[in-house]
A and B are shown apart, each in its own frame.
Chain A
Amino acid sequence: MRTARLLTGTALAVAAAGLAAAPAYGAASGYSSASASPDPGSLEVYPATVAPGAEVIVNTAACGVEDTVSGDAGAVGAGAFTLVPSAHEGNAVGQFRVPPSAQPGTYEIVARCSSGTRMAGDLVITLTSTREGRQQVHPRGSVKTGVGGALGPDPVQTAAGVAALAVAAAGGTWLLHRRARGDGI
């Protein structure tokens, strides 16, 4: 019983030391993998405005993984093309070249999943070279990309700590209880 009392005393002393010592802590790592998908049902056309002769990329997430996807740029005179699954899960990507003879205007580019879903997106043809000639609008100023959420206490860890202390309190009470009953402590 002396041993037990000694142990409890030692435990308290070590715990006090633990409270005073600065613990090492590894940086939190919660890099789960998620994917950003465009709105289902739509066909993304990039660039949305081009000059005749330009290369255009279309992309959709509306088809199933098993689907084959066919594209139709016949409206702008580029004919049919195929969309192939990209490394990006659920996305199908296709490419076509706008004929140099294409006239300015807005054209509907269409794609169909083999399951039947039809998607469409607009392509604008302008005669002035858009990408190279265009004066890009640059962003201004700083970017608001944080709120300080990494700085506060970690709620999960705090809860676990409180739970562990509750267990310790219960254990201590139990020991005191035995001692009060004269159970040989």
Chain B
Amino acid sequence: MRRFSNISIAAVTAVALLGGAWLLRSGAETHAPPQPSAAQARAGAHVDRPAAAPLPPSPPDRVRIPSIRVDAPLTGLGLTPQGSLDVPPAARNNLAGWYEAGTTPGEKGTAIVAGHVDNAEGPAVFYRLGALKKGSTIEIERLDGTVALFSVDAIEVYDARDFPDEKVYGAARRPELRVITCGGGYSAATGYQGNVVVFAHLTGSR
């Protein structure tokens, strides 16, 4: 009496063959990060809606974007010698940063948060940033214990060769937030060709 029947061996073989084929195929597929549609861009003439009253300055501690399952600590960022915004250490896939010499999130002006879309191992903290929609909420937990709540106004993609510095980093008359990650096209030679930039304004705090 044999321990295994031909049928059971054949069944296991078939399942392994199928499963292995599926794993190899899906594992080799490219998983490009989601990119915002044109509908998420700024609509025509841009009129600032009134924002909530500014909060006193306080460094931020954590960023949360519930609709795309982001919940990450924030580290301080400076500038590179070329004057561009520095980035958090790439090895930490769930870490974002904020521009420390600028406005703190909740204060009047433009606060800047940036994080990686991916690192060498795979997706990182802002992998799904391009899937954000207008009106989504961004929560910034601050060291003074308050949580600043922002509402998304637009999600844009800008080419690195023609980056609108003033629009992205320029001063604002109300408390605003930018969340930046890599995006646009990707080429093996030059990497990501631009950035996904989320524009948001303060709607309240708790």
Contacts and interface: CB of A to CB of B under 8 A. Distances in A.
A31 B70 contact: yes
Contacts of B27: 153-158, 160-161
Given A31-B69, A154-B27, A147 B120 contact: yes
B62 A88 contact: yes
A138 B165 contact: yes
Contact of A23 (B7, B22, B79, B183): B22
Nearest to B73: A36
Contact of B114 (A14, A145, A174, A184): A145
Nearest to B96: A36
B92 A34 contact: yes
Interface stretch (A5-13, A70-78, A98-106, A113-121): A5-13
Interface in A157-178: 157-158, 160-168, 171-172, 174-175, 178
B84 to A, nearest CB: 4
Contacts of A36: 73-75, 92, 95
Interface residues of B, number: 95
Contacts of B50: none
A158 B122 CA distance: 14
Contacts, number: 279
A185 interface: yes
Contact of B84 (A27, A142, A148): A142
B122 A57 contact: no
A161 B82 contact: no
B39 interface: no
Contacts of B18: 11, 14-15, 18
A174 B126 CA distance: 48
A91 B74 CA distance: 13
Contacts of B85: 139, 143
Which among A44, A144, A165, A166 has the greatest number of chain B C-beta atoms within 10 A? A144
Contacts of B32: 150-151
B59 interface: yes
Nearest to A146: B182
Interface of B: 2, 5-7, 9-14, 16-34, 56-59, 61-62, 69-75, 79, 82-85, 87, 90, 92-95, 99, 101-103, 109, 112, 114-128, 141, 143-145, 158, 160, 163, 165, 169-171, 180-183, 186, 188, 191-192, 194-195
- Nearest first, the 4 closest Cβ-Cβ pairs linking A and B are A11-B14, A157-B27, A164-B20, A171-B13
